[in-house]
Amino acid sequence: MSEILLDVQDLNVSFPSQRGTTKAVRNASFTLGRERLGIVGESGSGKSTMGRAILGLTPSPGIVTAKKITFNGENLLGRSEADWQLLRGRRMTMVMQDPKYSLNPVMKIGHQIGETCRLNLGVTGQEAQRRSLAMLDAVKIRDPDRVYNLYPHELSGGMGQRAMIAMMLVAEPDLLIADEPTSALDVTVQNEVLRILDALVRDRGMGLIFISHNLTVVSSFCDRILVMYGGKILEECKAKELHHAKHPYTQALIAAAPSLYERRAELATVVRNPEWLK
Amino acid sequence: MVDDQIGRTNAASHALKRAGSFISSLALTFLGLTAITFLISRMTKIDPVLAIVGDKASKEVYDKTYAMLGLDKPLIVQYGGYLRKLLSGDMGTSVLTSQPVLTDLIHVFPATFELATVAIVMGVLIGVPGGVIAAARKGHWQDQVIRVVCLFGYSIPVFWLGLVGLFVLYGKLGWVSGTGRLDIGYDDIVTTRSGILLIDAALEGQWDIFRNAFSHLILPASILAYFSLAYIARMTRSFMIDQLSQEYIIAARIKGRSYWGAVWKHAFPNIMVPLITVIGLSYASLLEGAVLTETVFAWPGLGQYITRALFNSDMNAVLGGTVLIGMVFIGINLFCDFLYKIFDPRLRSA
């Protein structure tokens, strides 16, 4: 990882409200090369908020501050909306959790993939269609011509997520943030979708941020892992060394995962300590 | 070859079945509509005989008229007779105008239709974009302005706005014409074809009449448009706020769509079904004839006709007008059902 794709220093995301400010992400710092970085943590630990902040899509009234966020050496802080549009879709993208909600229900699949081409690659008509069909083929959809003309509600969850991946990767971006891309799918389909994602990321040499709460998937799929708690990055380690993690929170997360081979009368609960946030 | 034929026969029988269920549901709705309106008209305390003979008539004349109207027969027979006549286009004779009710309705409905259609077109053209902008700029000044304008729209009484409008725009400024559909000097010059003055005048190339009709129409139409746009904009706003919080909007922006691109190209097509319902209902309620507006502007439309009939116990006219309104509602609902399927692929049957 000689080349640094994404460099984040002291990222803070907070949401002011009448009852005080909620800090969703606290002083998060990390770098990403053309590698796979996993981010794990419980619900509400700030994983997804961090992902959206990197894409400049923090919902209002959220406030993003950082010492530094650069992408390919370009500053991402204080960009105008027009500048963001040059990056999003074309150079950085995101695969979201549930295709049922993240695909537009009244647009044909082919049209939604073609839209990414039209917006980012400056191609239209036949060429956009050709690329969309090629991309559907690349995500291992058996009958691209048929699926091209289907609407999202006519697809299964696994097919929908593959269409989603096709839609987000057709413009060949450098950075992909996958926000729990398999959490909404049946277990049998999860592996298939992961394999497709894996192959695409490898072939195209993309940087990947893989957000998940599934420790097994993350440790087998990623190179490095960040563990988040309460908006803070508690520990960073190599994926293969996750089981030797030092932080008590990471150890607790690992211990809380039930095992198929070991009967336990009571499952372990995750220990949390607000002291860690200081 | 044989398979192909079977396939075609199946498709044909399927289409036939759908047409059959469509027609039977239509017939059932029509039956229910006429049964209820008929029953209500018979249950009111209004004596249809008195309305015809007057209260100074002798007992003999009264009884004769009573039997002539068929009121001595059982209710179900009366209804059967009414339905048979209705289906042949006979709605009875209006006591008030001494003309067949159907002729009266053909005369008054186009006036209401013209007013309602111009009003709903204006209401949609302003209300829908207004609601979309208010939703997309929720909490900003654009939203505040649009919401205040809408709040006035459904708080101000229509007759007051009509009177003030007439006083200022007609009386003081003279920008528009006064009450009625035309200046008296233009009456009965244009041959009635559709009954819609703007169209009839345009067909004959009578552009001065067209202009005059328009200057009469514009104020009541604008006032009705204001009320429907207030409703349409408010509903559009809430539908859009709902859609703008959906995940696919974020997905569209990740793909590189601008915010307004996501608003119009992604969120807006998704509100079409509820929006069509709202517009259809507004249009239907305008077609009922806006009684207050028609009264203030002396507009000879359906609302005025039915109201006058009611005040004069002219039950045939009331019944005929109610059935017409019911059929307008059924027609608009059918049209909306048809539009839903165009705009939402999830509602198309396989």
ipTM given for this complex: 0.90
B114 pLDDT tier (thresholds 50, 70, 90): very high
Question: Is the Cα torsion angle B292, B297, B298, B303 positive or negative in sign?
Answer: negative
Chain B residues within 8 A (CB-CB) of chain A?
246-248, 250-259, 266, 269-270, 272, 343-346
Q: A190: which 2 tokens?
A: 């999860």
C-alpha closest to that of A103 among A115, A92, A121, A91:
A115
Q: How far is B124 from chain A (nearest CA, A)?
A: 22
Domain residue limits, chain A: 1-80+207-278
Minimum-distance CB partner of A89 among B246, B247, B255: B255
Q: Which residues pair with A233 in a beta bridge?
A: A228
Chain A residues within 8 A (CB-CB) of chain B?
52, 55, 57, 81, 85, 88-90, 93-94, 96-98, 101-107, 115-116, 119-120, 151, 153, 164, 167-168, 171
What's domain B101-347's superfamily in CATH? Answer: MetI-like (1.10.3720.10)
Residue A103 to residue B246, Cβ atoms within 8 A: no
Q: How many residues does chain A have?
A: 278
Q: For the whole model, what pTM was predicted?
A: 0.86
pLDDT over threshold 80, residue B9: no
Q: pLDDT of A190-202, one tens digit each?
A: 888 888 888 888 8
Partners of residue B345 in chain A, C-beta under 8 Å: 105-106, 151, 153
Exposed, middle or buried by CB within 10 Å (0-12, 13-18, 19+), for B309? Answer: buried
Minimum-distance CB partner of A81 among B248, B259, B344: B259
Q: pLDDT of A61-94, one tens digit each?
A: 899 999 999 999 889 988 888 899 989 999 999 9
Residue B258 to residue A81, Cβ atoms within 8 A: yes
Average pLDDT over residues A105-109: 94
Cα-based angle A146, A147, A150 (whole degrees, multiple of 5): 100
Q: Which residues pair with A70 in a beta bridge?
A: A7, A75
The Cα-based distances of A67 to A7, A76, A194 in angstroms read: 10, 11, 34
Average pLDDT over residues B205-223: 89
Q: What is the pLDDT at residue A2?
A: 53
Q: What is the pLDDT at residue A1?
A: 45
CA distance B36 to B48: 18
Q: Which of B239, B242, B249, B254 to mutate to test the interface with A (most CBs of A within 10 A)?
A: B254
Which residues 6+ apart lie within 8 Å of A23 measured at CB? Answer: A12, A13, A14, A231
Residue B270: closest CA among chain A residues belongs to which residue?
A: A106
CA distance B308 to B104: 13
Q: What is the pLDDT at residue B81?
A: 87
CA distance B231 to B124: 10
Residue B257 to residue A107, Cβ atoms within 8 A: no
Q: Which CATH number fits domain A1-80+207-278: 3.40.50.720, 3.40.190.10, 3.40.630.30, 3.40.50.300?
A: 3.40.50.300
Domain residue limits, chain B: 2-87, 101-347
Residue B345 to residue A90, Cβ atoms within 8 A: no
CA distance B31 to B74: 18
Residue A101: closest CA among chain B residues belongs to which residue?
A: B247
Q: Which of A52, A102, A117, A154 to mutate to test the interface with B (most CBs of B within 10 A)?
A: A102
Lowest mean pLDDT among A249-258, B40-49, B146-155: B40-49
